[in-house]
């Protein structure tokens, strides 16, 4: 991959350059010391990936991410001094299209670099994601009939409340929050969200969505049951499924699917479950994950939605769902939320 580096620190830029150049698979396309220069370079020489700092003079990494994504759709990985101290900005940047975040490697006094491996792991994962998005859905074979029982005891839960299932990726946090904040406060429906995000960021994402939407957002744990009025978020790198007992579980396989947790896997398991047919939506994201799962839900009587191109950060996943005929309605986030609420109010 050709990689652009954006960081106002000379030492940080040097550390990042050394990490990239030490890999046979990656090269440095260019470096920029501020957001303005990065926007200009991304426009004239679009790399395969940009490593973006957050705290910079002029315009910060969040705004720089927003502008570059809007203009070029270039994949962006946030690389900042301390992810934990800038967690709010991390989720803002993810809402504008950043794919993930990692701490900046540190260049030692003797030239050694601490933190290179986590960065290279993230870069390699994104490289596979970009490749998979160009080839389409990587999870077609997952939608065959499967029994997710996980050894749980049977439950007599009727699940007679309404369900809303949401899948998202690039730009998803803001899109999800926009929909959640428009749901009624006293609504008894159960909302389940699958967002492509590293497990290290899932707890923070739940808190961030709760702050943005004014709703409690709970991470799903293995064995949990759907609950009326709950907003639930997939919380690991494994694939969320609904088991034959009606409980939630996580499956590591197939490892070959780079979109984790997979929206396709969850939607397909929900279509085969005892969940009462409700509404399901595919929001902004790179690739095609979720399209085939959404089609399975549609076949089972669920109302299905896809975010429109105009309001999407990246119209990849919604486009795939639309072209497959899986989405009954293609609309803006506000229109999707209103249609979901109206459908359950009848």
317 has a pLDDT exceeding 70: yes
Task: Quote the mean pLDDT of the chain.
Answer: 90
Catalytic (active site) residue 289? yes
The count of structural domains within the chain is 2
Catalytic (active site) residue 141? no
Residues 309 and 242 reside in one and the same domain: yes
Residues 181 and 305 reside in one and the same domain: yes
Residues 171 and 35 reside in one and the same domain: no
Mean pLDDT of 185-197: 93
Q: Range of 86's domain?
A: 2-135
CA distance 77 to 123: 8
| Confidence band for 200, pLDDT divided at 50, 70 and 90 | confident
- Among 133, 137, 139, 169, the one annotated catalytic: 169
Residues 40 and 153 reside in one and the same domain: no
Residues 151 and 279 reside in one and the same domain: yes
Mean pLDDT of 114-138: 77
Residues 16 and 85 reside in one and the same domain: yes
Residues 154 and 127 reside in one and the same domain: no
Residues 68 and 116 reside in one and the same domain: yes
What CATH number is associated with residue 327? 3.40.50.180
- Among 133, 139, 289, 312, the one annotated catalytic: 289
Q: Which of 135, 163, 191 is the last residue of a domain?
A: 135
Q: Which of 104, 135, 166 is the last residue of a domain?
A: 135
Mean pLDDT of 172-201: 93
- Among 196, 264, 269, 273, the one annotated catalytic: 196
Catalytic (active site) residue 160? no
**Contacts (Cβ under 8 Å, ≥6 apart) of 232:** 190, 191, 192, 193, 217, 218, 219, 220, 224, 226, 248
Residues 179 and 289 reside in one and the same domain: yes
């Amino acid at each position: 991959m050709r990689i652009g580096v954006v960081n106002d620190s000379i030492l940080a830029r040097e550390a990042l350059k050394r990490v990239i150049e030490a890999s046979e698979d990656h090269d440095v396309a260019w470096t920029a010391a501020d957001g303005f220069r990065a926007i200009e370079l991304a426009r004239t020489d679009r790399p395969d990936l940009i490593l973006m700092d957050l705290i910079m003079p002029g315009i910060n990494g969040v705004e720089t991410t927003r502008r570059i994504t809007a203009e070029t759709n270039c994949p962006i990985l946030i690389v900042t001094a301390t992810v934990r101290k800038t967690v709010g900005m991390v989720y803002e940047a993810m809402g504008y299209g950043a794919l993930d975040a990692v701490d900046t490697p540190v260049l030692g006094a003797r030239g050694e670099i601490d933190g290179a491996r986590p960065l290279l792991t993230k870069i390699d994962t994104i490289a596979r994601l970009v490749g998979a998005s160009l080839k389409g859905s990587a999870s077609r074979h997952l939608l065959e009939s499967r029994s997710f029982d996980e050894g749980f005891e049977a439950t007599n839960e009727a699940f007679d409340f309404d369900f809303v299932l949401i899948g998202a990726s690039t730009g998803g946090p803001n899109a999800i929050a926009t929909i959640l904040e428009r749901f009624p406060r006293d609504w008894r429906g159960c909302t389940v969200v699958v967002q492509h995000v590293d497990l290290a960021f899932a707890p923070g994402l739940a808190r961030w969505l709760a702050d943005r939407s004014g709703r409690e957002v709970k991470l799903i744990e293995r064995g949990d049951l759907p609950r009326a009025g709950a907003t639930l978020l997939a919380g690991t790198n494994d694939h969320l499924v609904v088991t034959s007992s009606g409980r939630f579980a996580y499956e590591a396989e197939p490892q070959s699917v780079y979109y984790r947790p997979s929206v396709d896997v969850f939607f397909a398991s929900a279509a085969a479950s005892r969940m009462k047919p409700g509404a399901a939506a595919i929001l902004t994201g790179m690739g095609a994950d979720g399209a085939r799962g959404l089609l399975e839900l549609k076949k089972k009587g669920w109302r299905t939605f896809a975010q429109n191109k105009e309001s999407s950060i990246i119209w990849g996943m919604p486009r795939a769902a639309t072209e497959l005929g899986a989405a009954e309605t293609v609309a803006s986030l506000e229109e999707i939320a209103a249609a979901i609420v109206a459908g359950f109010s009848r």
